[in-house]
Amino acid sequence: MTPRPILAVLAGGTSAEREVSLGSGRACASALARSFPTRLFRVEEDALPAGLDPARHVVFSTLHGTFGEDGGMQRLLEAAGITYAGCDARASAWTMDKTRTKQAAAERGVKGAPALVFTAEAKPSAAAVIAQLGEEVVVKPNAEGSSVGLHLVRGTEALATVLAGITAGSWLIEARIAGRELSVGLLGGRALGVVEIRPRSGVYDYASKYTKGATEYFAPAPLEAAVTAAVQRAAEAAFAACGCRDYARADFILSAQNEPIFLEINTLPGMKETSLLPMSARCAGLDFIALVRELVTPALERFHLAGIPVSA
């Protein structure tokens, strides 16, 4: 009998989200080890970790941020012929670019907040931004996760200060939409439960995400059934628009008119038991161990179809 493939869980990486990734990797490796031969690989550089074998390993990556979920690691895995779970390199690169993601979703009828994108070398004036988008705006990197670099700004003077501090990269400014923050997990393109996020500070920034007790979560979100269904439909449409596969998480603001305003798709979301995707999955009856099994199943099927049998 051909040995079962080993699930290679990748964690760490070189992005600003390294510590978050290490936590996700440990949690997922522990859960997967209950059902599969599993090995945790710590990624220390922008390269494939030593020891990966396309004939023996199926990769489950928990790398977050640049290189991890922007298509960098995925391109290396594909070049090496290694089967992996999650979105492919093209969809990963696409969804890491928030502007391209919103444009693709808009073509499927999924509304986003009014926005503009710029580079550090060609910054707009604060006055021009306020004239176009209004007094309250959100400034964030166009290709980062976990609310890294997020600024909520009111007024021309405050925005000018934020813009002056931007020295590199591509950035996005959105009109700030007052409303409720929602997140939806997607499994095989189908939406799971809707989670509501209520940061005690009023801002769901990095500190609110990763400081114990700083944010309240409601899973499922206390919404009317029709609103829940509308958010789920929007999440599924955005997933399809960006060519995603296997799983992802979509984030929204629910406006005062109960209209879901799309923010972004996260193709490798946080994966500790208390993270948003697992919360969303629990609403659909999947505990953490069952969820991670579901996340890797399509990759195991691809491994089998590639000609290497997966034994029971």
Residues with active-site annotation: 17, 146, 210, 249, 251, 264, 266, 270
Read off φ and ψ for residue 167, nearest 5 degrees: -120, -10
Q: Alpha-carbon torsion 153, 154, 155, 157, what sign?
A: negative
Q: Alpha-carbon torsion 256, 261, 263, 265, what sign?
A: positive
Residue listed under structure tokens 């707009």: 124
Residue listed under structure tokens 């021009």: 128
- Burial label for 142, CB within 10 Å (0-12, 13-18, 19+), is buried
Which tokens belong to 207? Answer: 């500190």
Residue listed under structure tokens 């599924």: 236
Phi-psi region of 274 (alpha: psi -120 to 50; beta: other; left: phi over 0): alpha
Let me know: does 236 contact 191? Beta carbons within 8 Å: yes
Pairing verdict, β 247-255 and 260-266: antiparallel
- DSSP alpha helix (H) spans, 134-222: 156-164, 206-210
Report how far residue 302's alpha carbon sits from residue 228's, in angstroms, rounded to the nearest whole number. 33
How far, in whole angstroms, is CA 116 from its chain's centroid?
A: 21
How far, in whole angstroms, is CA 281 from its chain's centroid?
A: 15
How far, in whole angstroms, is CA 91 from its chain's centroid?
A: 12
